[in-house]
A and B are shown apart, each in its own frame.
Chain A
Amino acid sequence: MLAFLVQRLFQAVLVMLAVAVIAFALFNYVGDPISSMVGQDTSVADRERLRQELGLDDSFIVQFARFVGRAARGNFGLSYQQARPVGQIILEKMPATLELSFVAATLALIIGVPMGIYTGLHRDTWLSQLLLAVSLVGVSLPTFLIGILLILVFAVMLGWLPSFGRGSVVHFGWWSSGLVTLDGWRAIIMPAVTLSLFQMTLIMRLVRAEMFEVLRTDYIKFARARGLTNRTVNFGHALKNTLVPVITIAGLQLGSIIAFAIITETVFQWPGMGLMFIQAVSFADIPVMAAYLVLVGFFFVVINLVVDLLYHAVDPRLRLDRERVGVG
């Protein structure tokens, strides 16, 4: 087990290095941060001095090596836009994104899985048909459109929910939480629903398809022949066996929820890392972009690791395999 973890950590470092290289190669195309940083009356000489101070006139390799060297010590430099340490900015923004992603993923699971089970068991009822039709709309509408529509209905027309921001937050050390205030919950509803809609439909359709598959298998027929209740068969035997692919997809989707929170965060002005990234791109704020991309790479690696560990919990065969290997 320990060897497995060490191997995965090593992979994580490789993935993050690869992300950093690609990111740095792309920074050549985001434009010149100097022109964002100075005003119209700044002389050419002063611009060049600033460029030198920031090391922007160094070659790609020098800039990259400096970034990796400093990042290894946990130092991501100063944001060009805010003149503040990038690490600190990310720590401020991370709770917002993680809370939003967590609530969205939970919504997707607790709504998506039951809907999947229902449509899997009762495939021809009108409710199943309705759920499927609605879910089709969910996948096909772009996120920002859904977000804007929600704002129009619930903020502008009905005035029930705030159209932007995170509401009031409470600080626990460096972590700021909006989940302990009523205000915060009101603010998170629309962004979380917007962000979860796609995953929700995905999970629902996946569970439904898996249920079809499993319900046709022999051991289900045997279970029914043994006279087990519908409940035991459906949930104890069928559902459990659909969960391996669902965990994989849900896990990987959590990564994309965090990464694709960008659009939702922009629509709702949710002060998280996605919004921070968009602001950095328009300013050509290279230190912030680099740190964000590497961090997202890290999240993906960690989530994959957790997913792998969950397999073992759900699927006894994998546990046996590893034990056998371990003994041998």
Chain B
Amino acid sequence: MTKRLGWVWRCAASAMVFIAALGVTVEAKTFRWANDGDPTTMDPHARADLFVTTFDMNMYEALLRRDRELKLKPALATEWSNIDPTTWRFKLRQGVKFHDGTPFTADDVIFSVRRATAPGSDLAGQLAVVKEVKKVDDSTVDFITDGPAPILPNYLVGIAIMSKAWCEAHDTTSAAMLKDEESYATRNANGTGPFMLKDRQPAVRTVLVKNPNWWGLKDQPIDVDEVVFTRIENAATRVAALLSGELDMVYNVPPQDIERIKTTRGMKIWETPELRTIFLGMDQSRDELLESNVKGKNPFKDKRVRQAFYQAIDEDAIKTKVMRGFARPTALMVGPGINGFDPTLDKRYPYDPVGAKKLIAEAGYPDGFQVGFDCPNDRYVNDEAICQAVVAMLARIGVKVNLLAQTKAKYFAKINAPGYQTSFYLLGWTPTPLDTLHMLSNLTQTRSKDFRDGAWNEGGYSNPSVDQLIKQIQVDLDSEKRNELISKALSIVKEDFAYIPLHQQIVVWATRDNVDLAPMGNNDFQLRYVKLN
């Protein structure tokens, strides 16, 4: 009798499970989106690629995270403070579990920072200032830094916390590329984040599902149950798939397709000013330019020539003609949203071709000169077209610019350290920690022999007072005073015409009109904000 009842119970129970499962499948909300790139690895420490990090950080979490307004918010750490100038103390969130069920502890933090800074991890450069991570107790860790490090928390946003036990069990305690085999973490993920990896077909399709045990659910319910990401490289196909209803969202939309989507019913365009600044740089360090007909001297060492270049370029025309309005002209090397951006300094010198012609004549080049110009053609929005516009504009003041536009793999190999084989180039820069210091030390600090300072200062700009200010900004823990120092440095860089800032791009995403999401200026795409109505 009891046996038979047991059987009935089991039947009823499985029927209920079945019905529940049915209910879920009926209600399951799937969000389908596409981009031209692929998150090439699920290992959050392997590559510091913007899209890889953006994607993986939906499954993994760091001690801190950014909200939709880009403000720093607690994630796996609940509070943090400087207990002394070289120690940051983090209180860890309790009761958090990884996707596989193992609890999150201080050991995982120490392990993850070690993994992220060991050879093979591409994040090591961001944590160069960290000397040691110490466990105080199970819920507290200290970061000991090499000197005061005011923006360490900003960097920690990008350092995913992995499970020590999981990494050890799967022999993936290093993010390094192995000799001949694939590391387990490349196609598997085990984070604490709001989404879990369900299926990964590299370069084709990646499926995430909602993490029903996510610690943040009580404050922020997640609307989508499943997220399907597809890589679609061809822009026309990507847009077509959105218009035909096969996708809910396409991440970067090329400017030429925006009108088409806008005028289609049921579609929505999202515009966000990006934090990346597009600018031109000039070689100011060599005594003779590599690619120029001026011999025995370097025209760019003369500030008047740099100013003439600046004022000969009509950024408004670039904005309207090349960028079709999707750009924000800038006078500074950082845009709004970056800590340290100073709106009072953000006024461009006017477009003045006549004055520019006069300046360049005063500098000793009444007939202009010739110079080579390096430009990527697959890196930034309409990069090559911008460069062609610049060539035409400089021709009006007699400068003959020989444009070399090439694929990014060749372009960066040419202009980057250690060779810096360029005379004049176009580049874009987003400060990783969203703080101006990062731009200043990479682009304006005098280059050091070991390439640690001014690593991306391709033109070799050097001004001792800027260097002095950078040294102060690096260690200043008082944010108000620090921002004053940043403003001072920004204004010197501007008055020196160290660079010719052009614009910040406007990121354009397109969705069906039932989609709600949080577009962010750093190109971050947090799936937890996605809602399907």
Contact = CB atoms under 8 A, between A and B. Distances in A.
Contacts of B456: 40
Given A43-B452, A282-B378, A33 B230 contact: no
A147 to B, nearest CB: 8
A38 B237 contact: no
B204 to A, nearest CB: 4
Contact of A164 (B243, B246, B413, B418): B246
A35 B412 contact: yes
Contacts of B432: 39-41
A162 B246 CA distance: 7
Interface string B430-453: 001000000000100000001110
Given A78-B178, A269-B233, A45 B451 contact: yes
B408 interface: yes
Contacts of B179: 78
Given A31-B408, A36-B409, A45-B451, A148 B236 contact: yes
A45 to B, nearest CB: 7
B177 A42 contact: no
Max chain B CB contacts within 10 Å: which of A30, A44, A89, A159?
A44
Given A267-B234, A282-B378, A39 B409 contact: no
B396 to A, nearest CB: 33
A41 B240 CA distance: 36
A78 B273 CA distance: 38
A44 B181 contact: no
Interface string A269-300: 10100011011001110000000000000000
A124 to B, nearest CB: 41
B30 interface: no
A201 interface: no
B97 interface: no
Interface stretch (B45-53, B342-350, B387-395): B45-53
Given A43-B125, A148-B236, A163-B246, A38 B48 contact: yes
A34 B416 CA distance: 11
A38 to B, nearest CB: 5
> What is the interface of chain B mostly: helix, strand, loop, or mixed?
loop
Contacts of B177: 53, 78, 83
Given A32-B412, A83-B182, A42 B122 contact: yes
A283 B49 CA distance: 12
B125 A46 contact: yes
Contact of A35 (B47, B180, B406, B409): B409
Contact of B407 (A41, A85, A151, A282): A282
Contact of B455 (A44, A75, A284): A44
B119 A31 contact: no
B180 A75 contact: yes
B124 interface: yes
Contacts of B124: 42-43, 46
Interface string A37-57: 111111111100100010000
A30 B418 CA distance: 19
16 contacts: A31-B410, A38-B122, A41-B123, A41-B126, A78-B180, A82-B41, A82-B186, A82-B202, A83-B46, A83-B177, A89-B202, A165-B204, A267-B237, A269-B233, A279-B233, A282-B378
Nearest to A53: B177
Given A78-B177, A81-B40, A278-B233, A35 B48 contact: no
Given A39-B122, A148-B236, A162-B246, A32 B413 contact: yes
Given A78-B180, A83-B177, A33 B126 contact: no
Given A39-B122, A39-B432, A40-B429, 12 more contacts: A31-B407, A32-B410, A37-B122, A39-B50, A43-B451, A43-B452, A45-B450, A83-B43, A159-B245, A165-B230, A275-B203, A284-B409
A275 B409 CA distance: 18
Interface in B301-332: none
Given A40-B456, A78-B177, A151-B240, A35 B122 contact: no
B41 to A, nearest CB: 6
A77 interface: yes
A28 B177 CA distance: 23
A155 interface: yes
B93 interface: no
Contacts of A282: 378, 407, 409
Contacts of A275: 203, 233
B401 interface: no
Interface in B29-48: 38, 40-41, 43, 46-48
> Which 9 pairs, one residue from A and one from B, show the smallest C-beta to C-beta distance?
A39-B48, A31-B409, A32-B413, A31-B410, A41-B125, A35-B412, A44-B451, A284-B409, A84-B182
Contacts of A44: 417-418, 450-451, 455
B241 A85 contact: no
A279 to B, nearest CB: 6
Contacts of B203: 82, 271, 275-276, 279
Interface in B201-247: 201-205, 230-234, 236-238, 240-241, 243-246
A268 B232 CA distance: 8
A152 interface: yes
A139 interface: no
A39 B407 contact: no
A195 to B, nearest CB: 15
A159 B244 contact: yes
A14 interface: no
Contacts of A82: 40-41, 186, 202-203
Nearest to A266: B234
A88 B180 CA distance: 11
A16 to B, nearest CB: 21
B183 interface: yes
A136 interface: no
Contacts of A29: 410
A176 to B, nearest CB: 10
A89 B202 CA distance: 9
A148 B243 CA distance: 13
A269 B232 contact: yes
Interface in A133-148: 148
B130 to A, nearest CB: 13
Contacts of A84: 182, 186-187, 202
Nearest to B49: A39
Contacts of A269: 230-234, 237
A156 interface: yes
Contacts of B240: 148, 151-152, 155-156, 163
